[in-house]
Amino acid sequence: MKLPKPMLAPNGEPNLDALRYPIFASLKLDGVRFLIFDGKMYSRNMEPLHPAVTQYFQQVIDWAQTSGVCLDGEIWRPDTPFNTIVSMMAKPEMCPRLWLYVFDTLPIREWHAPKPWTPFRGRVHQYHAWCAEHDPDKRFVKPVEQYECKDADSVLDLQKGVWLNGGEGLMLKCPDSTYTHSRATANQNVFWKLKFWDTINGRIVGFKQQCQLTEEARGNNTEKSALGRTKRGIRLRASGTRKS
């Protein structure tokens, strides 16, 4: 059976003056996307997550199964870089340092429907209520806060505060938008990511090959990890030196 896909934001930057207001804004989390439904826990690419993660959050999986909902969010820790989070997910003893940040939810029958119908405003209320009911002490689950912005200046003010606190950016979503099992498009104008960018100019003056793939590894390039990344297999260190 083909699994429903998560909703993704367009890759482009939004024109704040062209957005439909009011709009909800939330902190962009630099974590690992997860989905929980039908008694299982998946990555963004609909692959099973590492067994250590699934085992630690089994109670949350059971809660979702019993209450008949799909949970959508990110595995995250505010003070931890993305690469460290990925490493922690493979170590059972490190999983208790991570939380599930929920930013969307749907009743399971609506999740499996071709065109879900509940507007985002209603889904925000649903996931806050679900988290408060099942995990009031926030041992495993935390709801993502949504801030209603009435115009572009409100978004910029919120963005400035996020930047001053070392955040990565904002996620913007139309309160009346429904869930889409795909990447939203710019023409839909309902879901955006607003990131901070620094631009620098550089010139490549040379390079040295540091590694080469074995023939065994070359034949393994189509195999993917639980996070959807290609497994490169065994690498051999090439001769030569490297300057740091």
**Domains of the chain with CATH codes:** 23-195 (3.30.470.30), 205-244 (no CATH)
Q: What is the pLDDT of residue 214?
A: 67
List all residues 6 or more positions away from 44 whose beta carbon is below 8 Å from its beta carbon.
Answer: 6, 8, 32, 33, 34, 35, 227, 228
> What average pLDDT does this structure show over 132-155?
98
> Rounded CA gap, 211 and 171, in Å?
38
Which is higher by pLDDT, 107 or 231? 107
One DSSP character per residue, 156-183 reads HHHHHHHHHTT--EEEEE-TTPPP-SSB
Start-to-end CA span in the chain (Å): 49
Predicted local confidence at residue 86, as pLDDT: 96
Query: Is the pLDDT at 138 greater than 70, yes or no?
Result: yes
Average pLDDT, the chain: 89
pLDDT per position as a tens digit, 187-244 = 999 999 998 765 677 888 888 777 666 666 666 665 666 555 555 554 444 444 444 3
User: What's the pLDDT score for residue 201?
Assistant: 78
Give the model confidence (pLDDT) of 33-51 as tens digits.
999 999 999 999 999 999 9
β-sheet with 191-195: strand ranges across:
147-149, 23-27, 169-173, 191-195
Write down the pLDDT at residue 236: 46
Choose between 173 and 230: higher pLDDT: 173
What pLDDT does 38 receive?
A: 97
The structure tokens listed for 143 are 């709801």
Q: Determine the average pLDDT of the residues in 1-9.
A: 91
C-alpha–C-alpha distance, residues 35 and 105, integer Å: 9
What's this model's pTM, rounded to 2 decimal places? 0.82
For residue 134, what pLDDT is reported? 98
Full 3-state SS string of 61-72: HHHHHHHCEEEE
CA pair distance 144, 111, nearest whole angstrom: 20
Q: How far apart are alpha carbons 136 and 184 in whole angstroms?
A: 32
